[in-house]
Amino acid sequence: MTGLAVLDVFISLVFIYLLYSLLAMTVIESITSAFSSRSKNLITGIDRLLADDQLSDWFNHTVVNLFWVKTTNPLTKAFYSHPSIKYLGQKGINSKPSYIAKNRFGSTLIDLLRKGAYLDDVANISATLGIIPEYDSSLLASKVRDAENELNELSQSNEPDQNEIDAAQEKLDNLKKELFQRTNKENPWDIEGLSIGSETKYQLKNLWEQAVNDKEKFRVLIENWYEDQMDRIAGWYKRKLTFLTFIVGLLIAGLFNVDSISLTTELVNNDEMRTMLVESASAYLAENPLKPDSISLKEQRVYLDTLNARMAKYNYVLGANKDKGYTFWTFLGWLITAYAISLGAPFWFDLLNKLMQVRNSVKIPVKGKSSTDDSSSESVNVKAVG
């Protein structure tokens, strides 16, 4: 084979991979949209921040996470039950948000940490993180009882002093008000038995100490901590999606019998089909110069069926070998196709563009007619048509 023929084989394969990668991409987008896969992956990332290992489920870090997520960590549950997070998502089965800004994450987490019986937020955060003891409201309740007894004694004395009674009543009212403020804070998003794992508490305690008990600095440190995690969350999602694309690609390869080995062999031997595919690839790029066309699944199927019908004119149809039985090489061809599809349509689109540019720059020598007087033959350079 000439170098140009090898290039045409490669272009034809890349074009086929591009078309089926687009099909797989459309299927994947439909699946991930239906299952709100991004929001489930985000839950996994936040749970990894807020949960110790024993409270973080390992299968949340597998491809299963694109369809289902499980959270047992009380702090993660409280976080997603908080009104500032809860109402970011749509109402229904897939109600969790797919994106949470860093400032919202920081303010929500601090709001959870500052809940407590102290009247000062700094003291409550310190108590939640175990730096100081939790407030003991029983001492205040004892003072309320003592104030009530004192008021009763003053009221029942033989010569009650109204000034003393009024002072005792004011003291009792203030104590009751303080007790109410400390013990009756309404937090509808709180989860009963809310707790923080020892490792997570240690991390938050370090951030709190770095902030030197300053809530604003603490919020910034939490936001930076979350932002670092977001980069990892994006990486996790991409890896899971790549694996899912490989699985979908393998199903497509098997369903349509897109055997890369058989297809390559046919392209090497079938000049006309190879030329047709190169011309189709050139036409496709002319219609879509910037990016792969975002057409519907139905339209993609029609395009593939049309291309398959054109290939049938050259005695090759994808899926035509199903009645001949499958061999080891057939399955290997499917695996190669599935791997190619998992690389994604953008990869094949960019590669196809570069290959077509190379092909269009090639000059093909064509022999001229020989003269009768034995003069040297002339040659004409014709630019290859993509």
**pLDDT confidence band for 128 (50 / 70 / 90):** confident
**pLDDT confidence band for 368 (50 / 70 / 90):** very low
Most confident of 55-64, 112-121, 291-300, 326-335: 326-335
Mean pLDDT of 19-39: 91
Q: How far is CA 381 from CA 65, 204, 276, 364, 367, in A?
A: 58, 72, 22, 6, 9
More confident residue, 261 or 300: 261
Rounded Cα distance, 19 and 299, in Å: 12
Rounded Cα distance, 129 and 73, in Å: 17
Paired strand residues for 365: 381
**pLDDT confidence band for 20 (50 / 70 / 90):** very high
Residues 6+ apart with CB under 8 A from 153: none
Mean pLDDT of 281-286: 87
Residue 142 identity: S
Q: Residue 133: what pLDDT?
A: 81
Cα 247 off chain centre by: 18
Mean pLDDT of 250-257: 91
Paired strand residues for 382: 364
Q: Residue 352: what pLDDT?
A: 93
**Global model pTM greater than 0.95:** no
Q: Are 285 and 11 in contact (CB under 8 A)?
A: no
Return the exposure string of 228-254: e unless at least 16 CB atoms fall within 10 Å of the residue's CB, then b. Answer: ebbeebeebbeebbeebbbebbbebbb
Backbone dihedral region for residue 348 (phi beyond 0: left; psi -120 to 50: alpha; all else: beta) = alpha
Q: Which of 210, 233, 224 is nearest to 48 (CA)?
A: 233
User: Taking the domains of the chain in order of start, what are their residue ranges?
Assistant: 137-183
Q: Residue 364: what pLDDT?
A: 55
Q: Residue 174: what pLDDT?
A: 81
Q: Which residue has the tokens 């591009």?
A: 18
Mean pLDDT of 190-195: 62
Cα 143 off chain centre by: 54
User: Using H for helix, E for strand and C for coil, what is the string for 80-103?
Assistant: HHCHHHHCCCCCCCCCCCCCCCHH
pLDDT in tens, 203-215: 999 999 999 989 9
Q: Dihedrals φ, ψ of 36, to 5°?
A: 50, 50
Reduced to 3 states, what is the DSSP secondary structure of residue 367?
strand
Q: Residue 200: what pLDDT?
A: 93
Q: Which of 172, 177, 207 is nearest to 49 (CA)?
A: 207
Rounded Cα distance, 169 and 144, in Å: 11
DSSP string, 233-299: HHHHHHHHHHHHHHHHHHHHHHHHT--HHHHHHHHHH-HHHHHHHHHHHHHHHHH-SSS-----HHH
- Give the HSE-up count for residue 124: Cα atoms under 13 Å, Cβ half-sphere: 16
CB count, 10 Å around CB of 133? 8
How many helices, marked H, and strands, marked E, lie in the chain? 15, 2
pLDDT in tens, 145-182: 877 887 788 787 777 778 878 887 888 888 777 777 66
